[in-house]
């Protein structure tokens, strides 16, 4: 039995910080390897196929594709950049033999660059560094390479990993080059670098099959599809195989369909061998981390440990007066089934049942991770309500530990004071401050994860939209003490009805409003933010009394300040611990957990 090398295949993943151009780079590689017909209409960022990905311009789920170059098939996995989807990145790296680390030629190494690179180095992968966006007017490619090299050293890269190849590219311009002085032509220098530096898959082709499932997909015709790389042997269509669970279980099944990736399409094949990335159908309840093996020699492969969730929130059945009016799926059974279905593909999520049949505790990697799940369910027709997110504490030797995030902020100098002032009460500890280019300053902090809840909103307002903030999980440290909650109260609707201009005009003197005339409201619904610390009940449905001295025409003179449009994330950040966000396919509303104002007062007195 001798080792076999598949020289006709290379497997790579593309990793980077958010917005450094991973998906655009894959676009350029696909276009130049003639995956598309000459007359085919190709959209931008073709890999971001899900609606939410297109709208936000971010990658949420990892995707597989492949290109052919000089007779070699290169399988490419595009991964997310946000820390909240780190679970996607961690397991996908098990499928590949190298990574392309994309770094923005101006922003340089960012928190997420460090996070994804650390995962790749731990798996002993040897990265290729692509300095992207070299056509930016303020590009500083040479300095960025020094930053990346320092990062490799800091993360304990070995000598072989430190000797990384460098390619300069403009994914948008569709060219790559070995030296900055070369001509801007095409992506061939990058293809050449990949073929030359990525190890070809090596292993035993004549030993029994082993395949680790790292991703799950779903198709209406064939059901669940397990995706992974063949580590040993070969696999055939209609073959009997053993599926080995992570808990040591074993079951025998028959594979109905076998696919490989060709461009963006799946191609059905009869047989696939060592080193191929394949999609396998016919196993109804296949899960991530399971091994598909030969029945004569069932040996499981080790699975990557996924980082633990840091935030949790409660998903509950909607019980507001408007419950059941807008959603298709409203019962606790429907919400429960949908949440447990999400567990099948979303490995860094955790779901626990509570004492109440109508409430579920959902834990994830961060606010974005959870809000994407909420938004996805809302679009599928689910109606439910969620609580304020809270962090997950650990206990070690009787000491209470909490998750600490590493926060990087880039702001123009004039806003530095206000940002640092706001981070003080949130228990942030400043580690570093460097003056970046263009009048921006980079501030680095360690901050408890609870201190970040609700901060992004304030930060964007304080910096007039000019600040950039990024954070990534750092470690668990002893509890840092209390952090004050929101400093302002809510404006709460006083009765059921429809908001009118007259009622809102009287309410707007008390703070900023979130609703417009014509909005249907109910008692206990949050209509705005109060300018003082306590909540205030306001009758927003109050009409003007018409008498013979008051004409109805005088109403036209009332001028309303435009209402603040709150996104789902902003609502989740805004609510206090005694409030919920009600989510339906048509509306997002905020409400008090106790709707009746008298009962609310009674409850707060008991506290």
CB contact at 8 A, 59 and 23: yes
Report whether 257 belongs to an annotated binding site: no
Report whether 135 belongs to an annotated binding site: yes
Report whether 23 belongs to an annotated binding site: yes
Give the three-class secondary structure for 422.
helix
**SS3 per-residue string spanning 498-546:** ECCHHHHHHHHHHEEECCCCCCEECCCEEEEEECCCCCEEECCCCCCCC
Report whether 134 belongs to an annotated binding site: yes
* Backbone dihedral region for residue 506 (phi beyond 0: left; psi -120 to 50: alpha; all else: beta): alpha
d(C-alpha 357, C-alpha 340), whole Å? 14
User: Which pairing describes strands 166-170 and 128-132: parallel, antiparallel, or unpaired?
Assistant: parallel
**Within a 13 Å sphere around the CA of 300, how many CA atoms are in the beta-carbon half?**
15
Report whether 31 belongs to an annotated binding site: no
H/E segment holding residue 586: none
Which residues, 6+ apart, have CB-to-CB distance to 297 below 8 Å? 207, 208
Report whether 133 belongs to an annotated binding site: yes
Report whether 263 belongs to an annotated binding site: no
Which residues, 6+ apart, have CB-to-CB distance to 158 below 8 Å? none
**SS3 per-residue string spanning 67-85:** EEECCEEEEEEECCCCHHH
Residue closest to 74 by CA, chosen among 131, 29, 28, 121: 29
Binding residues for GTP: 19-24, 132-135
Binding residues: 19-24, 132-135
């Amino acid at each position: 039995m001798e080792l076999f090398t598949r020289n006709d295949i290379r497997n790579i993943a593309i990793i980077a910080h958010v917005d450094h151009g991973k998906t655009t780079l894959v676009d350029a590689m696909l276009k130049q390897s003639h995956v598309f017909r000459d007359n085919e209409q190709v959209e931008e960022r073709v890999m971001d196929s899900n609606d939410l990905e297109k709208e936000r311009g971010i990658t949420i789920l990892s995707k597989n594709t492949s290109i052919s170059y000089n007779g070699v098939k290169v399988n490419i996995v595009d991964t997310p950049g946000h820390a909240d989807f780190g679970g996607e990145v961690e397991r996908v790296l098990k499928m590949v033999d190298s990574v392309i680390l994309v770094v923005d030629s101006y922003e340089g190494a960012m928190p997420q660059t460090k996070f994804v690179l650390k995962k790749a180095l731990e798996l002993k992968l040897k990265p290729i560094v692509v300095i992207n966006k070299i056509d930016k007017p303020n590009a500083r490619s040479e300095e960025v390479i020094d930053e990346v090299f320092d990062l490799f050293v800091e993360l304990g890269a070995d000598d072989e990993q430190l000797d990384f190849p460098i390619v300069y590219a403009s994914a948008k311009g569709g060219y790559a080059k070995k030296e900055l002085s070369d001509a801007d032509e095409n992506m061939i220098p990058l293809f050449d670098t990949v073929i030359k530096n990525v190890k070809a898959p090596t292993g035993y082709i004549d030993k029994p099959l082993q395949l680790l499932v790292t991703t799950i997909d779903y198709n209406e015709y064939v059901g669940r599809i397990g995706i992974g790389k063949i580590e040993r042997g070969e696999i055939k269509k209609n073959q009997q195989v053993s599926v080995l669970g992570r808990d040591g279980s074993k079951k025998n099944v028959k594979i109905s369909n076998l696919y490989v990736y060709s461009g963006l399409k799946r191609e059905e094949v009869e047989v696939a061998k060592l080193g191929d990335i394949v999609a396998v159908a016919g196993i109804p309840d296949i899960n991530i981390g399971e091994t598909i093996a030969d029945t004569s020699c069932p040996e499981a492969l080790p699975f990557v440990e996924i980082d633990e969730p840091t935030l949790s929130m409660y998903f509950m059945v909607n019980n507001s007066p408007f419950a059941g009016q807008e959603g298709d799926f409203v019962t606790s059974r429907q919400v429960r089934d949908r949440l447990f279905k999400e567990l099948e593909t979303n490995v860094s999520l955790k779901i626990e049942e509570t004492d109440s049949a109508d409430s579920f505790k959902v834990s994830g990697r961060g606010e974005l991770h959870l809000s994407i799940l909420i938004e996805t369910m809302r679009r599928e027709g689910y109606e439910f309500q969620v609580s304020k997110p809270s962090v997950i504490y650990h206990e070690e030797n009787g000491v209470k530990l909490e998750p600490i995030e590493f926060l990087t902020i880039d702001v123009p100098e004039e806003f530095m004071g206000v940002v640092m002032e706001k981070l003080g009460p949130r228990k942030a500890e400043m580690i570093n401050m460097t003056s970046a280019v263009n009048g921006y300053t980079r501030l680095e902090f360690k901050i408890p994860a609870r201190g970040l809840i609700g901060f992004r909103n304030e930060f964007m307002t304080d910096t007039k939209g000019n600040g950039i903030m990024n954070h990534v999980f750092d470690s668990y440290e002893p509890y840092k003490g209390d952090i004050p909650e929101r400093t302002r109260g809510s404006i709460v609707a006083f009765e059921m009805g429809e908001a009118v201009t007259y009622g809102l005009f009287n309410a707007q003197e008390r703070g900023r409003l979130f609703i417009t005339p014509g909005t249907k409201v109910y008692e206990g619904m949050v209509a705005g933010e109060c300018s003082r610390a306590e909540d205030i009940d306001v009758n927003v449905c109050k009409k003007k009394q018409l008498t013979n001295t008051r004409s109805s025409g005088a109403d036209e003179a009332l001028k309303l300040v435009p209402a603040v449009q709150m996104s789902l994330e902003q609502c989740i950040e805004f609510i206090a611990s005694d409030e919920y966000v009600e989510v339906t396919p048509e509306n997002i509303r905020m409400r008090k957990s106790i709707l009746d104002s008298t009962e609310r007062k009674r409850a707060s007195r008991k506290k």
